[in-house]
Structure 1
Amino acid sequence: MRVGIDARFITRHPRRGIGNYSLHVVAALVKLYPAVQFFLYIAIPDSEGILPSGPNVTVRQLKMPAYPLWEQVALPRAAREDRLDILHGLGNTAPIFVPANVRMVLSLMDVMFLQTGEFVPKPTNRYQAWGRHYRRFVSPRCARAADHVITISDFSRKDILDLIPGLDPARVHVTFLSCDAVFQHQRSAEPVQRPAGGGARPYIFTLGANDPRKNTVRLVTAYLALVKEHGIEHDLVISGYAGWEQSEAYQLVKDAGAAARVKFLGFIDIQELVALYRNAELFVYPSLYEGFGIPILEAFSSGCPVIASNVTSIPEVAGDAALCVDPLSVEAIKTTMLQVLQDDALRATLAQKGYARARQFTWEETARQTFAIYEACLNKPTVQ
């Protein structure tokens, strides 16, 4: 079997959701299936040297002046030149047309870009706006043309089938995700190094953004109410928040005179993120829309109790290992945080359940399910 993979998100900096998914699933595929020849197609050099390597891996840098030409022209041409059996697009889009003897698999994380409404992120620049238009045009077409579509939760599968009419449900499959192994941690009596961003007080941890769907304003409002009404000693640490100085959330904090209690951090390296999870008393993830929700698994793996939203895909990931709340209710977020912070036994139970829950999600299993889809592709008669 000769499998080509769009691996360009792996070498992109900074590497985020799709890039991390691509890296982990490709590494597991290469390791589990040494008899398969994998062709990894990239747009920029692998400056980190992070791409999987081995006798069954060929890396090719395809050069094109614009991303649509890279995907719609260079990638199909490479599929033909490398005599692929399967071409796998890992990043929500793929070539609409491929050589007739090449089977197409599309990973479609979610279809939020096809949604409308107040919780859909607004483009912040012309490039993002153009990218959304491109996805709106390309994704439905290549999803219908693909032999199989992979998504990452039952919620996303339903969304895809609702928003892309004409898709055969039998060709849309769910493969759950995992998180980086660096987060795996068995709590012990040995202290973990205190993160620089955490400060001296005990703290609640979250990931924030100006993006309304991350729901940071409601969480900050709930936290400030806890400080005012119950005098909690915990700080709030918000990581991954680009441009927080001009945010509504920061304005709320300033107006409440709580700037010393709420710490806003930009993007941090993974080791600092690990330390923040491991030392937190509680992780709160009040997102309004997620295709999966890897941060929940990161917190679970770190032994950190979790409060999360009860909407979209999040309950699928959390199971019974987190307390799930209505993310639109500041009161629900506030009272649930207070409940967890005041109950040592509950925190210990949540941490234990979360750690066990995280063990159910592995990249090896994601790769096995992905490879089963490749095999299903080859069982379909080839168009002559």
Structure 2
Amino acid sequence: MRIGIDVRPFLKRETGVGIYLRNLILALSKIDKENSYYLFSSSLKDRFDRRKIPDTPNFHLFDFPFPVSITNFLWNRLNFPKIDYFFFKKIDIVHSPTPLLIPTNGKCIITVHDLFFFKNPDGTVREMRRGYPEKVYESIKKADGIICPSNFTKSEILRFFECREEKIRVIPHGVEETFKKEPEEGFVKRVKEKYSLPPSYILFVGNIEPRKNLETLIDGFSIFEKKFPEIKLLIVGEKVMGFESIKKRIEEKGLEGKVIFTGYVENRELSVIYRLSSVFVFPSLEEGFGLPILEAMASSVPVLASKTSSIPEVAGDCALYFSPDSPEEISEKLETILRNEKIRYEMVEKGKKRVEEFSWVKCAEKTLEFYKEIFEK
């Protein structure tokens, strides 16, 4: 098979979709020496770092100096040109890592991570609002195959769209080995100094945007810190949308200096930040999977999470849960974890076992199997 993949989501800084795509491609390169992979990237300003691409003869990168906005407009509005044109070959399977189809002469698979932005277009960046729900609807209808990372996302697709269940494949994500390894002492010290990490902190990792529910986390932390004034709240992630309202909430609660923002942190440093935290909190309103949950568990950190969407499916019985609209519950559960060493130890041990159920190689094997199934239909 000739397999085409749009790799633009990990052109620069990687967040959810980019992390998924990079790990999938690396794992595919380990298990598949038979099929040919054609990787597409475009940007006017940035060139794709070829070191991110597997150095194997069946993986080929095509990096074009076209503005991302023009490529998106041509594909999403005009359904032109077909991606095969850029590779000078007919492609058998094209995999879009987003819910939007890529024009092709072959068959197309899309990955639907979640439907939050379909249901809440106002909760996303401006460029995605215009016509986005309509395009997702059209893509899901026309796609030859759909990959989603959780049964929750699958159930949402079947709930909102007229879609044959047999064309959907649930393929969970994995967790990177980086988070399972104990970092070197010297590196830990450098990370501590670089980010001025406090001696004790609660950790959140993820983009700063409304669906991450950080205002409720801050409200819960404001209750909690009255009993534990020495503990800080560390928020790791890019400011995507809604930062001003979060900043205002911090000021209203008198938490200046107690809530720390690091911005984006690359994985090797992030693994240290996880390991030094007292507890990881994930208050999202909705997730299609929730990679940081597995990263925290792999890093031997207890997890506290909102009981909603796919989160219990990923964390199982290895996390303590709270209602995403209850600051009081957040505070109570934080106190439970930090006061009870037995509960904390049990959660960490269960979490380390849980992450062994998820791997990027398993994800790649199931994805390759799905490619073959769709190709042969």
TM-score by length of 1: 0.87
Aligned pair partner of 1:212 in 188, 210, 213:
210
1:85 equivalenced with 2:92 (yes/no): yes
1:62 is displaced (CA, Å) by: 4.5
| 1:208 to 1:106, Cα distance in 2 relative to 1, 3 A | closer
The CA distance in 2 between the partners of 1:344 and 1:188, in whole Å, is 26
Task: List runs of 5+ in structure 2 lacking aligned partners.
Answer: none
| 1:58 to 1:208, Cα distance in 2 relative to 1, 3 A | closer
1:179 is displaced (CA, Å) by: 2.8
Map of 1:48-59 to 2, 5 A cutoff?
49-59=51-61
SS at match of 1:144: helix
Given residue 167 of structure 2, which amino acid in structure 1 is its aligned partner?
Answer: R
| Contact 2:84/2:90 (<8 A) preserved | no
C-alpha distance after superposition, 1:317-355 (max 9, x if no partner) = 101111111111111111110000101121111111111
More deviation, 177-186/358-367: 177-186
1:189 is displaced (CA, Å) by: 11
Aligned twin of 2:164: 168
| Contact 1:210/1:247 (<8 A) preserved | no
Aligned twin of 2:200: 202
The CA distance in 1 between the partners of 2:148 and 2:318, in whole Å, is 23
| Contact 2:123/2:211 (<8 A) preserved | no
The CA distance in 2 between the partners of 1:208 and 1:225, in whole Å, is 22
Map of 1:168-317 to 2, 5 A cutoff?
168-185=164-181, 192-193=188-189, 195-196=192-193, 197=195, 199-207=197-205, 211-228=209-226, 230-240=227-237, 242=239, 247-317=244-314
Identical counterparts, % of pairs: 27
Aligned twin of 1:111: 115
1:364 equivalenced with 2:369 (yes/no): no
| 1:221 to 1:55, Cα distance in 2 relative to 1, 3 A | same
| Contact 2:8/2:42 (<8 A) preserved | yes
The CA distance in 2 between the partners of 1:352 and 1:10, in whole Å, is 32
Task: List runs of 5+ in structure 1 lacking aligned partners.
Answer: none
| 1:56 to 1:221, Cα distance in 2 relative to 1, 3 A | same
| Contact 2:118/2:136 (<8 A) preserved | no
C-alpha distance after superposition, 1:22-74 (max 9, x if no partner) = 11101111221101111111113313631223111122235655123256323
1:297 is displaced (CA, Å) by: 0.8
Given residue 219 of structure 1, which amino acid in structure 2 is its aligned partner?
Answer: L
1:243 is displaced (CA, Å) by: 8.1
SS at match of 1:356: helix
| Contact 1:198/1:237 (<8 A) preserved | no
Given residue 122 of structure 1, which amino acid in structure 2 is its aligned partner?
Answer: G
SS at match of 1:283: strand
| 1:187 to 1:130, Cα distance in 2 relative to 1, 3 A | closer
Aligned twin of 2:73: 68
| Contact 1:79/1:87 (<8 A) preserved | no
| 1:146 to 1:251, Cα distance in 2 relative to 1, 3 A | closer
Aligned twin of 1:336: 333
| Contact 1:40/1:57 (<8 A) preserved | yes
Given residue 358 of structure 1, which amino acid in structure 2 is its aligned partner?
Answer: V
Given residue 69 of structure 1, which amino acid in structure 2 is its aligned partner?
Answer: L
Aligned twin of 2:123: 122
The CA distance in 1 between the partners of 2:91 and 2:238, in whole Å, is 41
SS at match of 1:247: helix
Q: Which runs of 4+ in 1 moved over 4 A?
A: 62-65, 186-192, 243-246
1:88 is displaced (CA, Å) by: 1.2
| 1:7 to 1:200, Cα distance in 2 relative to 1, 3 A | closer
TM-score by length of 2: 0.89
| 1:46 to 1:20, Cα distance in 2 relative to 1, 3 A | same
